Amino acid sequence: MSSIAPVVPAARHYLLNGRSATAPRLAAGLYLVATPIGNLDDVTIRALETLAAADLVACEDTRVTRRLFDRYGITTRLTPYHEHNATEARPKLLAQLSAGAAIALVSDAGTPLVSDPGYRLVREARAAGHEVTAIPGASAVLTALIVSALPTDRFFFAGFLPPRAGQRRSCIAELKHIPATLVLFETGPRIANTLADLASDLGARQAAICRELTKLHEEVRHGDLTALAGHYAHDAETRGEFVIVVAPPEPERVAATDVDVLLRRALDRLSVKAAVAEIASVTGLSRRAIYQRALALSEERDHDR
């Protein structure tokens, strides 16, 4: 009596130092894979193994990810997944996960889900009971932070500021009192205007402007925001991607009048308890002091009605 042997998927390979290496098979699930932010050598072996062994790799731009694949001899099929097609593409990826596929998710550079729509896919994959695994690696946020020479014990990543001047200034006003180092992304065409607004609203805080990190023309410029804004307002090189790192505010700069402004805005949309918690987090001041001020402002508001 003859028997039919089970079909075993062919082994997947990738190139490491010019030699072929075998990628171990992957269990079904979603794999979040960090890729280089510039220098293609900044990739982990685990990332290469995962990308080579996956059934499918979802990426922002197939042309960008293809360069990494060509460098390391990876032949896994690519499919686009970005903010413009996510609504349509996400159900298809979830269906393939349900069918037992191993899918890797990457961004154009660095760690996925940072300033991209990947978190929705992760949320829905988790909700559907699929395994989600992070393959850590390069991050523009952390790379800029550690070369900035600014405090690293507490930081706040704010992504890209709004492109419109009024919205950008409003956003900066919200960030002003956060007791942490600020990390922002920016593009070359907007860097000068953004720095001008940061200098106007945050004053002469120390900052670092990181351009083209890990790439051939990497540049890290240190100084206070006023000086840096002046530099980029003239003939500075603005080609490439930027990360802006700004020092936290000095504690004594959070004045009582500023706290009142923040509290009034918070009380317009939150309960007293929630408003106190939010402002304490933003300013670093004690909850007891903020609570007493919130009660006083609430009484003033009730009296004026």
DSSP 110-179: BSTTSSSTHHHHHHHHHHTT--EEEE----HHHHHHHHTTS--SSEEEEEEPPSSHHHHHHHHHHHTT-S
Mean pLDDT score of the chain: 91
- The share of the chain scoring above pLDDT 90, in percent, equals 74
**pTM > 0.85: yes or no:** no
pLDDT on residue 254: 55
CA 178 – CA 173 distance, rounded (Å) = 10
Residue 277 is encoded by which pair of tokens?
Answer: 């918690």
Q: Which residue has the higher pLDDT, 221 or 234?
A: 221
CA 225 – CA 175 distance, rounded (Å) = 15
Residue 8: pLDDT band (50, 70, 90) is: very low
Q: Tens of pLDDT along 110-160?
A: 999 987 779 999 999 999 999 999 999 999 999 999 999 999 999 999 999
Of 90, 64, 91, 66, give the one whose Cα is nearest residue 77.
66
pLDDT on residue 109: 94
